[in-house]
Structure 1
């Protein structure tokens, strides 16, 4: 029996995934839209009380060091800023999106720790090289969404992928291609397109493992670098973590100065466990 994941087969299996929370999908598509207001976010969150409560819990976490309790979403926006709250809602919504199936061997805890690490690396790196830090955070959080899709929609096949990776001591993306005929980056791009994310987000997710210069050293390069940095810092907690090879042209285009790199590493490591704790990862 073939393990190939064809577009038609993927489409038929997507029904196994729960719908992305509407407020999360809307906020992701609103990135770069300066017309979004705190009232818009509060109105959207009022329809999802669980996510609203999680957002406030994160806003009151030690990461932000508030001297007083934040009681409402509007207050959180006033104190923390609209962009920060939008990132909190997106992170909170994605990390509580669904319960992993019992049949999978995929390590969801490590997956989310790496995703949070990549989001923080993307945010910090974007700030250093004068790119959109919010976009860096969000795409970092989303970049491996194809792994989750494959592990949930194709649990038996993905178990074979994980076994192939272990047996051949190779990168996960190479094991996916060998077993499934596709990989999580391509699948992630299809999912992002299915959710109607902006073309730049779709491209960054789909090409984060192959940031060829014809895509430009922009968001694709930033996502690739953030992924590599998160792997390099070992934030997932996995013992067999691999660091993807960064093309020299992307490294030259996206790297800050050496001393800024050290500050970036320290910043991300100082933030990481606090953010994971707030998100209950």
Structure 2
């Protein structure tokens, strides 16, 4: 069994995010952060720039000419989307494949990208901060990656227990490890100095009854919808319980869901290029 103190000490070994990603995340709270600022930062990291341009040049966006700069990508995708892509691409590259068996990294990121797209679409429909929703959705399960990377054998036990007993991975982690991925993800988000609302969304996305805020509710609903529609692989097959309280607080209506989901699927197609080689 693990303790949260043990996990916290180990997480201190996780490399810091790049300066570009950290400053991009910090800019979510800066109303006057503009395209020129973003382009200047991206010029410091050609790898990130290449990933963002790959998405902008995907057939999904139907551009007749090649997008060759961050400024052009902003025209195609929108400033807020490009900024979110920068953060996402930087964080995804932080956890390269380990080569160890048992955890589907590609499926994990597919689920994260689906949840990010869904959270962003929901946020847009409700007039909430789309960049925060996207990033929190992408990272809601980041604790699983930390567990797989730093406590691989223990995490394998949790995955096996979830499959054998047909229970959620969250419950299996609590039983076999003594800690779960929401706690680990919260500690990692603190380590990386994410905005406080993202930290809470990661911690409470399975427990929106803690009422930690609108962002948590958005990520909770987006996560459940992506499980229900089998987007990616979150490590288990059960669909988590949908909180009626979170749904009501957001003021969502099932009648609007088909249109919102169509938009989510469209976003997902382009964003999936972030994890392709």
With structure 2 as the length reference, what TM-score do the two structures score? 0.92
Deviation at 1:110, TM superposition (A): 1.1
**Residue in 1 aligned with 2:162?**
165
Distance 1:223 1:129 in 2: 13
Distance 1:139 1:119 in 2: 7
| 4+ aligned runs moved over 4 Å, structure 1 | 237-240
With structure 1 as the length reference, what TM-score do the two structures score? 0.91
**1:127 aligns to 2:121 (yes or no):** no
SS at match of 1:265: helix
CA RMSD of aligned residues (A): 2.1
1:199-218 correspondence runs (5 A)? 199-212=196-209, 214-216=211-213, 218=214
Distance 1:250 1:184 in 2: 21
Deviation at 1:139, TM superposition (A): 0.7
Distance 1:167 1:76 in 2: 46
**Residue in 2 aligned with 1:270?**
266
What number of residue pairs does the alignment pair up?
A: 277
**Residue in 2 aligned with 1:12?**
10
Structure 1 residues 83-115: Cα deviation after superposition (integer angstroms, max 9, x where no partner)? 121012122222222322223421111100100
1:103-182 correspondence runs (5 A)? 103-182=100-179
Distance 1:9 1:202 in 2: 16
**Residue in 1 aligned with 2:32?**
35
| Structure 2 spans left out of the alignment, 5+ residues | none
**1:21 aligns to 2:22 (yes or no):** no
Structure 1 residues 215-238: Cα deviation after superposition (integer angstroms, max 9, x where no partner)? 24x111111011111111101157
Deviation at 1:255, TM superposition (A): 4.8
Distance 1:271 1:39 in 2: 24
Report if the CA contact (8 A) 1:222-1:254 is conserved.
yes
**Residue in 2 aligned with 1:96?**
93
